Amino acid sequence: MIIGLTGGIGSGKSTVARAFETLGAASVDADDVAREIVLPGEPALLAIKNRFGDQVIHQDGTLNRAALRAIIFKDPEQRRWLESVTHPKIRERLLQHLAQLKTQGAPYVLLVSPLLFESGQNALVNRAVVVDVPQALQLSRTQQRDGVSESQVHAILAAQLSREQRLAQADDVIDNSGDHRSMMEQVVRLDQRYRQLLND
């Protein structure tokens, strides 16, 4: 069984994924895969360089993510182009990782993806869990973690589904606005439910 795990920026998806892993779940993170497909030598990086030039490439040949982010969140057309190049490659690589993980004996696999619904990756999962926090908390957590401006966080939020749209598509919801213990209790309950579904 594949469980999609998603949530807006700063909602704590990675923390929740690690909590599931402590209970025996395996996981693949679409953000990690997105970084993988733009490593030096990858076709996606070459396409990005050809479109945006050296301004988005560090001296060592790696992608300058901050420079690229500044461009694509100002211009929806450029963001759509980038997604048209990267999303198919991410999906292909995700399928490879998921196939490998299925053979490793975990009771279920998490597909952790900030754009689970937006990218159509929800078609790959049996259930979708949304990690939910109020927008004010997303803002403060993201600014603290990434050192980005409030306007940039708003631009990223605008590129993702609204909180209401995401919740409407969820099979399960984890409220991550409380403390670690509260989150862990919810994870344990869902873990038990998923194991039960596998046995039914």
Domains of the chain (ranges, CATH numbers): 2-199 (3.40.50.300)
Q: What is the pLDDT of residues 87-144, one digit of tens each?
A: 899 999 999 999 888 878 899 999 999 889 988 899 999 999 999 998 777 677 766 7
> In order along the chain (200 residues), what is the average pLDDT of each group of 10 residues?
91 93 95 94 95 95 92 89 92 92 88 90 95 80 69 72 91 94 97 92
Residue 24 and residue 16 in contact, taking contact as beta carbons nearer than 8 Å: no
Give the global pTM.
0.83
* 3-state SS, residue 91: helix
Q: Exposed, middle or buried: residue 135 (CB in 10 Å: 0-12, 13-18, 19+)?
A: middle
6 torsion bin: left (phi>0), alpha (psi -120 to 50), beta (else): beta
Binding site residue list? 10-15
Binding site residue list for ATP? 10-15
